[in-house]
Amino acid sequence: MSGLPVARLFGIEIRLALSWVFVIAIVTVTIGGQLRAIQPEAPELLAWVIGGMASLGFLVATVAHELAHALVARRVGMDVPVISVHFIGGPAVVDVRAPTPRGEAAVALAGPLVSLAIGGGAVLIAFAVAAFGLNSVVAELIADVAFLVGSLCLVLAAVSIIPAYPLDGGRLVRAIAWARTGSDRRGAKAAGTVGRGIGWILIGSGLAVILVGEAGNGVMIALIGWFLGASSRSVDRWLLLDALVSGVRVDEAMEPELDTIGPQLTLDTFGSQVLDGTLGPVLPVVRGDVLLGMIGSGQLRSVPQRDWPSTRTADVMIDAAELPSLRPDETLADGLERLRTSQLEGLPVLDGTKIRGMLTRRSIAVTLRARADLRGVSL
C-alpha cells in the first residue's frame, strides 16, 4: 500500500499519501493569502499561522474520516490492517466489499458522517466564540481555525457522498442495489452505471460554465467529471476479473514448482535472482520440510546491497508465525483478498504443515490471462 507510515491507532497502521505535502502547502498559502486580503491590518505571521493550523486540522479530520471507515469495516467482519489517507480520504475500492449490503452501507457512510460531525461541531465552535464576543487574539485564532477546518470537513463530507467510484457514495449505491437485487455483482454494475452518468453530467456542466465565461471553474468541473467517469468504468473491469476467478481454487493458480532457501544463506547468494525474476518474486525459507518464513523483493530492497554479503536470510525474512497462509482447496477469490490485505508479493499454500506452493501476484496474472484467452476476452 502506498503512503508514508505515520501512526498506528486501534491496531491499524495509518499511511499518508505523499500528495499531502502539496495539499498542506496549497491550503496554507491559499488561506493565508485570503486572510491577508480580507484583513490587511492583521499581522502577516498570524495569517500564515492560521492557514497552517487549518491545513493540519483538516489533515487530522481526514485521517478520522478514513479511520471511521476502517473501524466500521472491522466491526462488520472485514480485515483492515492498513489505511492510506488521500486528499479526499481513502477512495473506495470496488473489489473490497463487506459481507452484507447493510455492512457495505455502514462502511460507506461512516467516513462522511464523521466528517459531517467534525465539520458541524467546528463551525458551531466558531460561531459560539463570535456570539459570546470573545475578542482576544487567542479566541479569534480559535474561531478562525475552527471555521476553516469545519468548512473544509463539510466540503469533504459533501464530495465523498457523490454517487460515483472511487468516492464513498459509489459504495453506498452498490450497497443499495445489492440489497434490492440480492447480488453484489449487480450492485457493483449499478454503481458503475450511476457513476458514469454523474461523470457525464459534470462534464456537461463544466462545458456550460465555460460557455458563460468561467473557463477556469468550467475546466475544473469537467476534469472532475472525466475522472469520476473513468473511475466508474473500472467497475466493468472488476466484474470481468471477478468472473474469471469464479470457480478457481488456490492450487490451480499457485506456483507449485518452488525454489526454497535456508535461513543461514546470505542475501548476496540469491537476492539479484529474486529481483530479476529468475527465482520468482518470493522464496519460502525452510529447514527440512518446516516452513520458517518467506523473503521477497520488499525485504531484499530494505537492505542496501553493500550489506547483502553479511546479512542472513533469517535476519530479514517474514517469520512464519506472522505470515498468512492458504489451503490448496480455498477459492482464488479468498486468496486474492488475503494477498491484498497482507500487502505481500505472495503467500504460502500449506497442506497441513507441508508447503505445496506459493500464490503470487505473478501466478494469479498468468492464470487470469489464460482463462481470458479461453473465453476470448481481453484484459
pLDDT tens digits for range 266-307: 999 999 988 887 887 888 898 877 889 999 888 899 999 999
Q: How far apart are CA 78 and CA 57, in angstroms?
A: 29
CA nearest neighbour of 317 among 266, 275, 276: 266
> Could you tell me what percent of the chain has a pLDDT over 70?
93
Q: How far apart are CA 149 and CA 54, in angstroms?
A: 5
Residue 283 φ then ψ, to 5°: -130, 135
- Structural contact between residues 162 and 198, judged by C-beta atoms closer than 8 angstroms: yes
Q: Is residue 255 scored above 80 in pLDDT?
A: yes
The arithmetic mean of pLDDT across residues 363-372, rounded, is: 89
The arithmetic mean of pLDDT across residues 240-257, rounded, is: 86
pLDDT category at 5 given cuts 50, 70, 90 is confident
pLDDT on residue 92: 47
* Per-residue pLDDT tens over the stretch 22-57: 888 888 887 777 777 766 766 777 778 878 888 888
The arithmetic mean of pLDDT across residues 68-90, rounded, is: 81
* Per-residue pLDDT tens over the stretch 102-133: 999 999 999 999 999 999 999 998 888 877 76
pLDDT on residue 135: 63
Residue written as cell 492458504?
Answer: 326
Q: How far apart are CA 259 and CA 280, in angstroms?
A: 8
pLDDT category at 87 given cuts 50, 70, 90 is low
pTM greater than the 0.75 cutoff: no
pLDDT category at 17 given cuts 50, 70, 90 is confident
pLDDT on residue 91: 47
What separation in angstroms does the CA of 368 have from each of 46, 206, 243, 326, 333? 58, 39, 10, 19, 12
Residue 331 gets which letter from DSSP? B
- Structural contact between residues 356 and 350, judged by C-beta atoms closer than 8 angstroms: yes
pLDDT on residue 109: 94
**In terms of CATH, what superfamily is 250-375?**
CBS-domain (3.10.580.10)
Q: Is residue 351 scored above 80 in pLDDT?
A: yes
- Structural contact between residues 234 and 283, judged by C-beta atoms closer than 8 angstroms: no
- Structural contact between residues 72 and 107, judged by C-beta atoms closer than 8 angstroms: yes
The arithmetic mean of pLDDT across residues 310-325, rounded, is: 90
Query: Please, what is the average pLDDT of the chain?
Result: 85
Q: Which amino acid is at 314?
A: A
CA nearest neighbour of 194 among 157, 241, 161: 161
Q: Where are the alpha helices (DSSP H) in 132-270?
A: 137-160, 168-181, 184-211, 215-232, 234-245, 250-253
Q: How far apart are CA 93 and CA 13, in angstroms?
A: 18
Query: CB burial class (10 A; 0-12, 13-18, 19+) of residue 308?
Result: middle
The arithmetic mean of pLDDT across residues 236-263, rounded, is: 85
Higher pLDDT, 235 or 70: 70
Q: Which amino acid is at 367?
A: T
* Per-residue pLDDT tens over the stretch 143-187: 878 888 899 899 889 989 999 877 899 889 999 999 999 988 888
- Which strands form 82-85's sheet, in the order they lie side by side? 4-9, 12-16, 82-85
Q: Select, from the ranges 98-112, 128-142, 332-346, the one with the highest average predicted confidence (pLDDT).
A: 98-112
